[in-house]
Amino acid sequence: MILYLGPSSLIKLYVQDEDSEMVRRWVHEAEIVAVCRVAYAEIAAALDARHKGGDFSTKDYNRVVSAFADDWAHLAVVDFDDIEAGRLVRKYGLHRMAAIHLSAVLLVKKSAKGLDLAFSSADVDLCRAAAAEGLRVMKLS
């Protein structure tokens, strides 16, 4: 299975919440974990905000950032289609980053014809749009 993680699912590998174990299990079961290239900056910003908000000590923040950077090398990092993202904004009313991620996973779908592809995000509107585009959506609780 190819598992595409939107940033709201990817962050669950580094910040513990009720869905973290489920996402870790999906990642373990996947042959390939794909993300859009913009997810690096999104996750870095989210981790930085959590650190500044006092959720991480500096030691824990540095450890988590290092783990994320190490893991990034093992992910299938894909680009996005800017024209497709614009179409998705208009079609589903998605915000810009959701449309970018959906356009990225649709590029994976196009190139992975016949392969098992699953999509995960905590963004309900994005998941609805992904399902409408024919993607199998892995549901978070």
Q: What is the mean pLDDT of the chain?
A: 97
**What contacts 92, CB < 8 A, 6 or more positions away?**
99, 102, 125, 128, 129, 132
Query: What's phi and psi for 116, nearest 5 deg?
Result: -75, 115
- Report angle CA 94, 108, 140 to the nearest 5 degrees: 55
**Given CA atoms 37, 69, 136, 96 in this order, what sign does their dihedral have?**
negative
CA-based nearest residue to 23, from 141, 129, 103: 141
Cα–Cα distance, 90 to 22 (Å, whole number): 32
Q: Which residue has the tokens 């699953």?
A: 118
Kind and range of the H or E element at 36? strand 32-36
5 — pLDDT class (breaks 50, 70, 90): very high
For range 67-91, the mean pLDDT: 98
Kindly report, residue by residue over 88-122, the tens digit of the pLDDT.
999 999 999 999 999 999 999 999 888 999 999 99
The model's pTM is: 0.95
Kindly report, residue by residue over 37-63, the tens digit of the pLDDT.
999 999 999 999 999 999 999 999 999
Domains of the chain: 2-137 (3.40.50.1010)
Kind and range of the H or E element at 27? helix 20-29
